Amino acid sequence: MIKMAMDTLDIQARDSTSDMIKIVKFHFAKNAREMRKVTEEVLDVLSKWDYHYDKDSIGASIMAAWDHSLVTHMHSKRIKGQRARRTIGFAIMTENFLYKEIQDWATSKSRVYEDYCEFESGRPDFADKSCQSFLAFTLEEAIRDLQFRMGRSPTRWRYDRLTKVTYAHAPFSGIPLLKKIYGKVDSIAGSKHTLRMSFFMHHNEKNGPYNAFAGSVMRMIVDVANDDYIQIAMDVGVS
């Protein structure tokens, strides 16, 4: 039961990753374009990923950045403000809609065009402006972001290098002279779709789009048939 409470399996990633890989390959095949070597490496990592958002996972870092890129560029033709797009994309209704659409794109044998997929890239390899092209473009942008943050090679990328969490203390973390003492910063496993939750917002300009601001700090498991049995798992930090 403790293992279940600490589970980092992302069901959405499990259900969508293979479709997303298929769509990206469809885009490059349809446009007769060769993938960059790093794109091939990234797709290979994702195809072998176990869909767990563990600290040492390369796949988790790629999918977190890809998800961020998707909500950054979705609706970019209609909504000019990047922060507004990220805020809309953060909503669970928008997210559910997008990943349902991805399932449909994966089964299509021709290009799909929707207004929310329209984007400006300035690159000839994404000129057809299809939804499949949109997905491939957002992956390229995610790769660029990861390379900027953690280096050019995917072998250097790790989820715990991408996302951090601050264990804040009330009220001392809000006091300038004390916040460095009462604010432990650490790496964290999990995503907003895992039982072991780590929750970060794409439009969080203050702390960055990958830094968790909420999560399951304490998990308690009680055996209702045995009043004397209780197991507690708690993150390290001040509270």
176-228 residue pLDDT tens: 777 777 777 778 888 888 877 776 666 565 666 787 766 666 667 787 888 78
Q: What is the pLDDT of residue 214?
A: 65
Percent of the chain topping pLDDT 70: 87
Kindly state the helix (H) or strand (E) to which residue 186 belongs, with its residue range: strand 183-187
Question: Does residue 2 fall inside a structural domain?
Answer: no
Domain containing 152: what range? 8-160
> Model-level pTM?
0.83
Q: What is the pLDDT of residue 239?
A: 35
Question: Does residue 27 fall inside a structural domain?
Answer: yes
Q: What is the pLDDT of residue 88?
A: 79
Does the pLDDT at position 236 exceed 60?
Answer: no
Measure the CA angle with vertex 119, ends 208 and 138; round to 5°. 50
Question: Does residue 127 fall inside a structural domain?
Answer: yes
Question: Does residue 3 fall inside a structural domain?
Answer: no
Does the pLDDT at position 237 exceed 50?
Answer: no
Question: Does residue 211 fall inside a structural domain?
Answer: no
Question: Does residue 185 fall inside a structural domain?
Answer: no
CATH of the domain at 25: 1.10.1400.10
More confident residue, 133 or 119: 133
Q: By the 8 A CB rule, do 96 and 77 touch?
A: no
Number of domains the chain is built from: 1
Q: By the 8 A CB rule, do 194 and 10 touch?
A: yes
Residue 221 carries which DSSP code? E
